[in-house]
Structure 1
Amino acid sequence: MHVTVFGATGSVGRQVVDRTLAAGHTVTAHTRDAAKVRVEHERLRVVEGDVTTLAGCRPAVEGGDAVVITLGDGRRGTVREAGTRAVVETMQQLGVRRLVCQSTLGVGASRDNLTKFWRYAMFGALLRRAYADHVRQEEVVAASGLDWTIVRPSAFTDQELEGVRHGFGADVSGLRLKISRGQVADFLVAQLAEGDLHRHVSLSA
Structure 2
Amino acid sequence: MQLLIFGATGGTGRQLVVQALAAGHTVTAFARSSAKVATQHPNLRVVQGDVLSYPAVLAAMAGQDAVLSALGAPARQKDDLRSAGTRNILQAMEATGVRRFICLTTMGIGDSKALLPFSYKYLLVPLLLRHAFADSELQEQYIRQSPVEWTIARPATLTNGARTGHYRHGFPATERGLKISISRADVADFMLQQLHETKYLRQTPCLSY
Scaled to the shorter chain, the TM-score interval is over 0.9
Paired AA for residue 30 in structure 2: H
CA contact (8 A) 1:31 1:46 kept: yes
1:10-25 map, 5 Å: 10-25=10-25
Paired AA for residue 202 in structure 2: H
Match of 1:188 in 2: 191
Shift of 1:56: 1.6
Paired AA for residue 98 in structure 2: V
1:16-55 map, 5 Å: 16-55=16-55
1:143-162 map, 5 Å: 143-160=145-162
Match of 2:131 in 1: 129
Q: Secondary structure at the match of 2:189?
A: helix
1:95-106 map, 5 Å: 95-106=97-108
Unmatched 5+ residue regions in structure 1? Answer: none
CA contact (8 A) 1:5 1:13 kept: yes
2:111 to 86, 109, 112: 109
CA contact (8 A) 1:104 1:153 kept: yes
CA distance in 2, matches of 1:116, 1:201: 21
Q: Secondary structure at the match of 1:199?
A: coil
Alpha carbon RMSD of aligned pairs, Å? 1.3
Q: Secondary structure at the match of 1:46?
A: strand
Q: Secondary structure at the match of 2:121?
A: helix
CA distance in 2, matches of 1:159, 1:24: 23
Percent of aligned pairs sharing the same letter: 44
Match of 1:5 in 2: 5
CA distance in 2, matches of 1:161, 1:5: 19
Paired AA for residue 8 in structure 2: A
In the alignment of these two chains, the number of paired residues is 205
1:92 to 88, 91, 94: 94
> Structure 2 length normalisation: TM-score?
0.94
Please identify, of 83-92 and 49-58, the stretch whose mean Cα deviation from structure 2 is larger.
49-58
CA contact (8 A) 1:152 1:200 kept: yes
Q: Secondary structure at the match of 2:205?
A: strand
Unmatched 5+ residue regions in structure 2? Answer: none
Instruction: Write out the 4+ residue segments of structure 1 that deviate beyond 6 Å after TM superposition.
Output: none
Q: Secondary structure at the match of 2:204?
A: strand
CA distance in 2, matches of 1:145, 1:5: 20
CA contact (8 A) 2:163 2:185 kept: no
> Structure 1 length normalisation: TM-score?
0.96
Shift of 1:161: 8.2
Match of 2:69 in 1: 69
Please identify, of 161-170 and 62-71, the stretch whose mean Cα deviation from structure 2 is larger.
161-170
Match of 2:206 in 1: 202
CA contact (8 A) 2:163 2:189 kept: no
